[in-house]
Structure 1
Amino acid sequence: MAPAGCNLSIPLTPPIIMPLWLADELNTELFKSPSDTELQDVFTATYRQVLGNAHINSFERCEKAESQLRNGSITVREFVIAVGLSETYRNLFFTNNSPYRFIELNFKHFLGRSPRNQEEIAEHVLIYNTHGYDAEILSYIDSEEYSSAFGENNVPSPRVDSSQFQDNRDYLLTLNLNRGRASSDRMPAMAQVRQLAAKLPAKANPPRVTNNQYDNRITRYEVNYDLSGNSATNRCAAQSVQVQFANLSRQLQSIQRRGGRIRTIRVTS
C-alpha cells in the first residue's frame, strides 16, 4: 500500500514538458477519410509550422500539393516536402538569412527542435555545399528522426519533451526558437550558433504575447522532482518548488546540478 498522504497521481515517468504558448501546436494528424475541416486543419498547421507563422497570400500556397493530399495521392509527409521545397519557403528563409540561420530554422520547421551542437550545423552546411538546396531540405524530412517523431501523417510540431529535457541547454535553445503565435520566423534574427559553437549556457527568453494569449512571464510553475538517493518506492520523498517563468531555467539547472530528476512541471496560476 502507498504511505498515507502520498499522492499517487504524480506520474512516475518523465512527462511531456510543454509551455503554454506551444500547447495549441500539438497533435495535428490526418486520419483516413478526413473531413474538409480536418484537411483544412492539416493545411493550416503545416503552413504555420513549416513557414514559421509567416502570413502568406493565396498565390504562395502549394495548391497542387493540397489537391493531392485531399484526394489521398500523397501523405502529410509528402505535403511537408512540397512546402519545404516551394519558392515560398526559399524566399522566406534562404534568400534573406545567413546560412546558419537558414539551417537553424530548418531544424525548427522540420524536426521541431533546435540544433543541439556545432557538429549538427557543420553537417548540414556540408550537405548544402555538396548536394544543394533540395538535398538540405530533404535531409530533415527523409531522416529516421523525422520518421520516429512524426511518421507519414502527423504535421511536424515543437518537440520540447522529456527526451530533450535531459539536457537543460537543448530544452532552452529549442524553447527560445518558439516565440508564440505573435512572432514570425520571417523577421530578421541572429542564429543561436554562437551559443552552440562556444558552448555557452542558454537561458529562457519570455515569448512574444498578444491580447488574450497566455503570458508565461507572470505564470507560475510547480516543479516536482526527485533527488538522487530517494527511494524508488518512497514516492512521497519527491521535492516540489514553485517558480515564475523568469526563474524557471535557473531552478531547473539547480535541480540538475544536485543530481535531481524532473517528474512534472505544471502551471499553478
Structure 2
Amino acid sequence: MLALFRSEDPARPPFEARHDTAVLTAIREILDRGGVVAGTSAGLAVQQAAPMVSGGTSREAWARDAAAGYADDDALRYIPAGGLGFFSEALLDSHFTEWGRVPRAIRLAQATGERLAIGVDEHTALVVRRTERTGEVIGTGGVHLLDLAEAEFAEGTSGPGATGVRWTHLTAGDRIDFARGVTTRAASIHVAPGDGPAPERANDLWGDTGGPVLLALAQRLLASPERLATADTSRSTAGTGDASDPAPGPRFRLSLHRDERTTWTDPGGFTDLRLSITPLPSAA
C-alpha cells in the first residue's frame, strides 16, 4: 500500500490533520513543474480538494443524509478534509454514467454546500490545466457538470427533494473555462428541438442495470420535440441497505426539463438541462 499522507494519530483515518509523505511531496513537485498526474476510479476522486466523496450509492444518498467519514456500506459519506488537493474547482466523482451517480452528486453537493459537481465517465478524462483553470474532454464517454446555483431543496415527510439543478454533458473535444464559467463545444450546437420520437418514462432508475438510463433519457428528450421526460426509481430495492431495516425506502421521480437555455449537440452533449428530484407517494 502506498501511503501519501501521514496522520497525526496512526489509529485514525486522515480526515483532519495530515502531513505529506515524501512520495506525495515528490508528486506535488512533478505537478508544479508541469508534469501529468492522472488516476482512474478512486485515483480520480482522490485528486479532489475539500471535501471528497468516500462512498455510497444514489439510492442511499436519497434515503438518508450524508455523513462525514468512511464505512464499507452503501451510505453516502465524504471526507471533509478532501483528498490530495490537486483539483479545487468542484466536487469530483468517477464511473458517473455507468453507476448512475447524478443523484448522488447532487445530494453530496447539497450536504457540503458546494455549487458545482463534476462527474467523469469510464474511458474518459477531463484534462485540466491548473494555471489556466481550463479543462478539455478526451475519450469515448462524457464529463458532466451539475450546477446547483439555482437549485432549491426541501425535506418533506415523503422524502427530500431538489429542483432547479442545471445539468451539462460534455463530450470529446469540448472545453470548459472554470474562471469564466464558459463551455466551448467541438460540435455544432442545436437550439431548436429535434424531431425524433417522444421518450417514454423510465421505471427502474436505481435498479442493477439503471446506471445509463438517465443520460439516455436526456439524450432522447433533446432529440425530440418534447419539453419534459421523467424516470422513476425502482420499486424493489431496499431503502437503507441495512439488514436491520428491511423496509423499502422512499421512491423518487427525476424530471428533465428543456427550456430556453437548453442546447444540444449531435454527439450527445447538452447544456443547461433542468433537473428535479421529487418524492413519489408510497402507492405510486
Q: Assess same fold via TM > 0.5.
A: no
The higher radius of gyration belongs to 1
Which of the pair has the greater relative contact order for Cα pairs under 8 Å at 6+ separation?
A: 1
TM tier relative to shorter chain:
under 0.3
TM-score (norm 2): 0.27
TM-score (norm 1): 0.28
Answer 1 or 2: which has greater helix percent: 1
Answer 1 or 2: which has greater strand percent: 2
